[in-house]
Amino acid sequence: MVKNTKSIITSFTLILAMLLVPLGALAQLESPFDNIDYERGNEIRVILEGKQLDFDVAPQIVSGRVLVPMRKIFESFGLTVTWDDSLRAARGRNEAMDVLFPIGSTTANINGLAYELEVPAQIIGGSTMVPLRFLSEHMDYNVVWNGDSQLILLSKSPIVEWRYGGFEAIKPYKEYQNKFINSERTKEFRYTGKNHDVTFVNLYRKDGTLVQNVPDFKVEDYGRGWSENSSFIGNTYWIHIDELTKTDRENPIYLEQELERLDLRDIKETSEVGDYVKVKINEHYFNLAAWKKVVGTQNSMLISMIDDSMLDEKEIEAKDTLFKVQINDKYNAVVSFNTLNKAVFNRDSEKIYTVLEKSPEALFNWDSKTWKRIEENIPWTGMTTDMLLVQFKMKPDQTTKVTTKFSDIELWVYTEDYGDSIYYFKDEVLTNIL
């Protein structure tokens, strides 16, 4: 779990001081409380001079005060335990102390003097319970209460603790402890001999910008707009081969392992339906060696880098990022962000059916002969409106609809690119080309 980043110290003074602390110094324990476990338990723990006390009845918090079983705490403090039936009071004695706690009374008696109690001694779970801090302080014990850990420390000497303080914000993320005396933090600290276990994540913006290897404790610093999940990963597209051909000269496709260029003719031969290429995005990432091969844009920052570690926590523009993709369920390949950006993410809005987000088979229930005729790029009578749209991948420049008593007639007009032709559809079936 990531500790509070406010506790992370990055000053040069702290770093230098940690380097100067010998590891062997940790073996010299300064107090009985040096190895205290601060993990919160189910019950309140009481530690006397470094040793945990075991109670038959667990300590209880009553009106903000901790009560503990009388017999155990009296004996631990060196008091002989007796019970006064006439006063209904618990009594503890030694050569210097005579302590009397009447049950239910807000007054206690120590060496003949009466003292007011905030919470009286009482019977809980069949055990006589007495207020711990009151008794401890009157017997000259120092008391430290750690509410987060449900922990009470008791000692005749000043209570010295080394509490977790945080870790450096630079590698290797050394953890350190702060020194406390009787709950008061001092200026002293020390290296624990351990390095913090840091998880590194990649962060993405919706536009494709990437920051790699961000330590988990810094993720919140990036704020809204960043996510550990790229919105592109897991998406599958069926892209018409013509769109990939347009980008191939500047942004070719490379085989993942060899980083050798993948020929579009090989890709086309493995396409199962029409001229559509199935592309599934498996990873959105950056790698310097792959970038130089696949992208190689004139980015002075990237060109100057020696290895990938120099780019940790630096923003990499979307155009310089890479995708690991699977093509036609056959090729594991690497493509630049720009390859898919031009063909898919930022495609011409005037075009249609250049990119599908479902397989052609799922969208169109056509047989292989139909797909072959569509690939020939020559319209034929008997084809449907969808077939012509898939063949031309462009909506008509003009349309005219006429509804008669017996059928629906539609005229589609294509100019320039398609020879100023008019396509006559009757009930969505092409019957004539003018």
The CATH number covering residue 134 comes to: 3.30.457.10
Answer for the pair 159, 141: CB distance below 8 angstroms, yes or no: no
Question: Rounded mean pLDDT of 97-117?
Answer: 95
Answer for the pair 111, 98: CB distance below 8 angstroms, yes or no: yes
Look up residue 209 and give its two tokens: 């910008």
239 CB-near residues (< 8 Å, 6+ apart):
276, 277, 279, 343, 344, 354, 355
Answer for the pair 383, 430: CB distance below 8 angstroms, yes or no: yes
What are the tens digits of pLDDT across the range 137-196? 999 999 999 999 999 999 999 999 999 999 998 889 999 999 999 999 999 999 999 999
Answer for the pair 87, 128: CB distance below 8 angstroms, yes or no: no
Structural domain includes residue 226: no
* Same-domain check for residues 380 and 341: no
* Same-domain check for residues 274 and 381: no
Q: Which of 333, 361, 389 is the last residue of a domain?
A: 361
Look up residue 233 and give its two tokens: 């990963």
Q: What is the pLDDT of residue 3?
A: 43
* Same-domain check for residues 284 and 336: yes
Q: Which residue has the higher pLDDT, 12 or 292?
A: 292
Q: What is the pLDDT of residue 50?
A: 94
Q: How confident is the model at residue 415 (pLDDT cuts 50, 70, 90)?
A: confident
Does residue 360 surpass a pLDDT of 50?
yes
Q: What is the pLDDT of residue 296?
A: 67
* Same-domain check for residues 243 and 345: yes
Structural domain includes residue 125: yes
C-alpha–C-alpha distance, residues 21 and 194, integer Å? 13
* Same-domain check for residues 172 and 288: no
32 CB-near residues (< 8 Å, 6+ apart):
49, 50, 51, 155
Helix (H) or strand (E) holding 108: strand 107-110
* Same-domain check for residues 357 and 412: no
Does residue 407 surpass a pLDDT of 90?
no
* Same-domain check for residues 245 and 339: yes
Q: How confident is the model at residue 4 (pLDDT cuts 50, 70, 90)?
A: very low
Q: What is the pLDDT of residue 6?
A: 43
Query: For the chain, what is the domain count?
Result: 4
Structural domain includes residue 411: yes
Cα angle value 205/211/214 (rounded, 5°): 120
- The CB density around residue 404, as the number of other CB atoms within 10 Å, is 8
Structural domain includes residue 206: no
Q: Can you state the angle between helices 385-392 and 368-375, rounded to 10 degrees?
A: 50
Give the SS3 label for residue 16. helix
Structural domain includes residue 213: no
What are the tens digits of pLDDT across the range 182-238? 999 999 999 999 999 999 999 999 999 999 999 999 999 999 999 999 999 999 999
Q: What ranges make up the beta strands (E) of 182-321?
A: 184-195, 200-204, 210-215, 236-240, 254-255, 276-285, 315-316
Question: Rounded mean pLDDT of 8-14?
Answer: 45
Q: How many helices (H) and strands (E) does the chain have?
A: 11, 29
Structural domain includes residue 110: yes
Q: What is the pLDDT of residue 15?
A: 47
Q: Which residue has the higher pLDDT, 271 or 348?
A: 271
Does residue 132 surpass a pLDDT of 60?
yes
Structural domain includes residue 301: yes
Amino acid, res. 356: L
What are the tens digits of pLDDT across the range 20-74? 444 444 444 567 898 889 999 899 999 999 999 999 999 999 999 999 999 999 9
* Same-domain check for residues 388 and 308: no
If you average pLDDT over every residue of the chain, what do you get?
89
Q: Which of 307, 327, 361 is the last residue of a domain?
A: 361
Whether residue 32 is preceded by a cis peptide bond, meaning omega within 30 degrees of 0, is no
Look up residue 49 and give its two tokens: 């001079």
Answer for the pair 26, 190: CB distance below 8 angstroms, yes or no: yes
Q: What is the pLDDT of residue 26?
A: 44
Structural domain includes residue 46: no
C-alpha–C-alpha distance, residues 268 and 245, integer Å? 11
* Same-domain check for residues 246 and 353: yes
* Same-domain check for residues 326 and 345: yes
Beta bridge partners of 189: 178
Nearest CA among 51, 30, 66 for reference residue 154: 51
Q: Which residue has the higher pLDDT, 247 or 44?
A: 44
* Same-domain check for residues 243 and 343: yes
State the Rg of the chain over Cα. 39
C-alpha–C-alpha distance, residues 306 and 302, integer Å? 9
Q: Which of 303, 331, 361 is the last residue of a domain?
A: 361
* Same-domain check for residues 305 and 411: no
C-alpha–C-alpha distance, residues 23 and 195, integer Å? 13
Q: What is the pTM for the complete model shown?
A: 0.70
What are the tens digits of pLDDT across the range 311-327? 999 999 999 999 999 99
Look up residue 224 and give its two tokens: 């809204």
For residue 27, give its domain range: 1-31+157-198
